[in-house]
């Protein structure tokens, strides 16, 4: 088992069991950075940790609900005891819920009735589910920023990367709650960058376009592996005519965490989207 070198940089990655953030965690570890893997599913975190250890890296896995201040504080205490003070924070925990996605792209009279199969619109949506999506994606970023940001400020600096979305720039059909949350992440990133600048903490965000993961696969593809209607719609708007791969986020991440290469970069929200935002569709 690898032993932590006290001179190593330390990174915290939330949502580290997911497709995108597990790739980011592995990439950080490959550069000799010790990584604390946070997320709800300990099994998935342990899988990522094993991959890091097999490559002689160092990582710990901590089951954490990042919307719980108590749980994030407990994770912070464990990281401080076992690793030290982090200088990098990647806020990747988040996502959507099926029950917060409308069946329609615009209003339909059916949604004036109680929700039944394929009649979920905004007007009959369970607002507790809507609120849950907001909570996960917004407070699930705010709480780690405050708790780990405090440690960075004590140490004298650091770098925070939040995970935004195409929804941060423009509303996408059917995902009102998720879009509202991710628009908030972009605004919060800019605000926090200005606020924490005197503490020598840079805050930026990466806005992935459409990447394939376990959740999106069901939306982008049909059971026979062909593109779904929504998948085809996205590709029509994406100049590179394909979905992204998690590995294609790593270059942007590496640049943003590097003081040498991005020391004067803060408050940015950078699309990695295959040109999606550049295409008006006209």
CA triplet 44, 181, 130: central angle to 5 degrees?
85
CA dihedral sign of residues 6, 34, 90, 131: negative
Question: Taking a C-beta distance cutoff of 8 angstroms, is the pair 220, 227 a contact?
Answer: yes
89 contacts 161 by C-beta, under 8 angstroms: yes
Contact criterion met (CB below 8 Å) for 181 and 224: no
Whether 107 is catalytic? no
Taking a C-beta distance cutoff of 8 angstroms, is the pair 15, 92 a contact? yes
Contacts of 228 (CB under 8 A, 6+ apart): 219, 220, 221, 222
In the sheet where 59-63 sits, what is the strand order? 59-63, 34-39, 10-14, 88-91, 158-163, 201-208, 269-272
Active-site annotation, residues = 178
């Amino acid at each position: 088992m690898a032993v932590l070198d006290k001179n190593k940089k330390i990174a915290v990655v939330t949502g580290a069991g997911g497709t995108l953030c597990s790739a980011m965690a592995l990439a950080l570890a490959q550069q000799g950075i010790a990584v604390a893997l946070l997320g709800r599913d300990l099994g998935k975190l342990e899988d990522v940790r094993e991959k890091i250890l097999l490559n002689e890296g160092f990582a710990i896995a901590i089951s954490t609900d990042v919307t719980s201040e108590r749980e994030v504080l407990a994770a912070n205490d464990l990281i401080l005891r076992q690793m030290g003070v982090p200088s990098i924070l990647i806020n990747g925990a988040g996502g959507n819920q099926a029950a917060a996605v409308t069946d329609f792209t615009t209003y339909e009279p059916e949604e004036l009735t109680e929700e039944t199969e394929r009649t979920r619109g905004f007007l009959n949506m369970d607002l507790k589910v809507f609120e849950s999506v907001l909570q996960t994606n917004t407070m699930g970023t705010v709480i780690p920023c405050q708790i780990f940001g405090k440690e960075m400020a004590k140490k004298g600096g650091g770098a925070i990367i939040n995970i935004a979305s195409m929804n941060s720039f423009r509303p996408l059909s059917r995902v009102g709650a998720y879009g509202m949350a991710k628009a908030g992440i972009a605004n919060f990133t800019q605000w926090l960058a200005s606020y924490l600048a005197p503490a020598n903490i840079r805050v930026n965000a990466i806005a992935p376009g459409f990447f394939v993961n376990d959740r999106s696969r069901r939306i982008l593809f049909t059971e026979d592996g062909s593109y779904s209607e929504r998948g085809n719609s996205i590709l029509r708007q994406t100049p590179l005519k394909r979905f992204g791969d998690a590995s294609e986020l790593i270059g942007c991440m590496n640049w943003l965490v590097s003081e040498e290469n991005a020391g004067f970069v803060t408050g940015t929200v950078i699309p990695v989207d295959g040109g999606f935002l550049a295409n008006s569709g006209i």
